[in-house]
Amino acid sequence: MIAYILRRVAYAVPILIGVNLLTFWLFFFVNSPDDMARMQLGTKHVTQAAVEQWKRERGYDRPLLWNGGETGWRRFTDTIFYEKSLRLFVFDFGISDSDNRDIGYDIRQRMGPSLAIQIPGLLAGLAVDLSLALLVVFFRGTYLDVWAVVLCVVLISISGLFYIIAGQFLAGKLLRWVPISGFGAGWVSIKFIILPVAIGVIAGIGSGVRINRTFFLEELGRDFVRTARAKGLDERRVMIRHVLRNALIPILTGVVVVLPSLFLGCLVTESFFGIPGLGSYTINAIAAQDFAIVRAMVFLGSVLYILGLLLTDISYTLADPRIRLG
């Protein structure tokens, strides 16, 4: 397994370099360093001297990818791409373009609120989706099964913004159970995360129950399920011990997709609820055309996604001992 992990890490390096290069090219294809300087300076009549000073302070006065005036390795090292992109591999995120803040410090500070929302949402969502899917499959072929599928399709068809707006109005404005925006420190934060977590769980029920129902129905037709029933096991034990356990592999595959969002936060949720997490941090950086923050968040998301894929492969061996990583 160690050899497999090392090989996957080696594969990840060129992927991350490619992601960095693509992000770099797309950003500077749309915005030149001069455009970024004029936007960040925020004045109507910006002098060229002020633009040049802004670029010089942040290293944007260097060539983008290749310095034709030098020779050898110096041509590449004295470029914006080398200085601001490849240093990410040692997690040196540098400073932001808009307000000269330490990006690494901001990420560490904002990671807590994002995790406080995403981890309970993921765990509660999995528990609710799996429980409801097992219940629907237990009553398969009945009216409960039919109406559950119809309800899932209806829930999927509704926009996620509707759940947020309706939840804020009902729980925050009408019933005044919880605040609809903001965040607090320590245990005070619980009252701020209840509503976003609840809305996230409810919004994901439709797709979660429907796809898990499909996984469970597929496992019900296996030979080992028929064997378990022939041995006299009741349906409840068959569902939990055999169907649920053997459906874990596709379930784990679905979970890996949301792993980066645990750290990076949900862009829409954090923006609507005023949560100072990494999701709103990224949205603000995009609006301000802050390339340093955008670059750092894209890189961090890529690293987390690759790490999630690796952890998923390892979890396969725990869910099914027959699987070996070669």
Q: Sketch the domain layout of the chain as residue ranges.
A: 2-90, 112-319
Q: How far apart are CA 263 and CA 115, in angstroms?
A: 6
For position 74, what pLDDT does the model report?
A: 59
Q: How far apart are CA 266 and CA 36, in angstroms?
A: 26
78 vs 86, higher pLDDT = 86
pLDDT tens by residue, 122-154: 899 989 999 999 888 888 888 888 999 999 999
Q: Looking at residues 279-308, what average pLDDT do you find?
A: 84
For position 72, what pLDDT does the model report?
A: 58
Residue 44, classed as helix, strand or coil, is coil
Structure tokens at 174: 């009408």
For position 128, what pLDDT does the model report?
A: 93
Whole-model pTM: value is 0.76
% of the chain surpassing 70 pLDDT: 90
Q: How far apart are CA 100 and CA 59, in angstroms?
A: 12
Q: How confident is the model at residue 96 (pLDDT cuts 50, 70, 90)?
A: confident
CA distances from 262 to 12, 112, 257, 307 (A): 20, 10, 10, 13
Contact 94, 60 (CB under 8 A): no
Residue 323 has pLDDT above 70, yes or no: no
Residue 61 has pLDDT above 60, yes or no: yes
Q: How confident is the model at residue 322 (pLDDT cuts 50, 70, 90)?
A: low
Tell me how far apart the 2 most distant CA atoms of the chain are, in Å: 84
pLDDT tens by residue, 233-252: 777 788 877 788 777 777 87
Residue 202: CB partners within 8 Å, gap ≥ 6?
A: 163, 167
Q: How far apart are CA 263 and CA 256, in angstroms?
A: 13
State the Rg of the chain over Cα: 25
For position 43, what pLDDT does the model report?
A: 62
Query: What sign does the dihedral 201-194-249-142 (CA atoms) show?
Result: negative
Residue 326 has pLDDT above 60, yes or no: no
Residue 88 has pLDDT above 60, yes or no: yes
- The set of long-range contacts for 240-243, using a CB threshold of 8 Å and a minimum separation of 24, is 240/134, 243/134, 243/137, 243/216, 243/219
Q: How far apart are CA 119 and CA 124, in angstroms?
A: 8
Say which residue the tokens 């919880």 belong to: 178
Angle at 170 between CA 166 and CA 173, to 5 degrees: 110
Q: How far apart are CA 278 and CA 52, in angstroms?
A: 31
Q: Looking at residues 20-39, what average pLDDT do you find?
A: 78
Residue 321: CB partners within 8 Å, gap ≥ 6?
A: none
pLDDT tens by residue, 159-217: 888 888 888 888 888 888 888 888 877 777 888 888 899 998 998 898 889 988 888 88
Residue 63 has pLDDT above 90, yes or no: no
Residue 276, classed as helix, strand or coil, is coil
Residue 99 has pLDDT above 60, yes or no: yes
CA distances from 231 to 226, 243, 244, 267 (A): 9, 15, 18, 50
For position 281, what pLDDT does the model report?
A: 87
For position 70, what pLDDT does the model report?
A: 58
Q: Mean pLDDT in the chain? A: 81
Which homologous superfamily does the CATH classification assign to the domain defined by 112-319? MetI-like (1.10.3720.10)
Q: How far apart are CA 235 and CA 266, in angstroms?
A: 39
For residue 140, which phi and psi values (nearest 5 degrees)? -60, 145
Contact 172, 180 (CB under 8 A): yes
% of the chain surpassing 90 pLDDT: 5
Residue 102, classed as helix, strand or coil, is strand
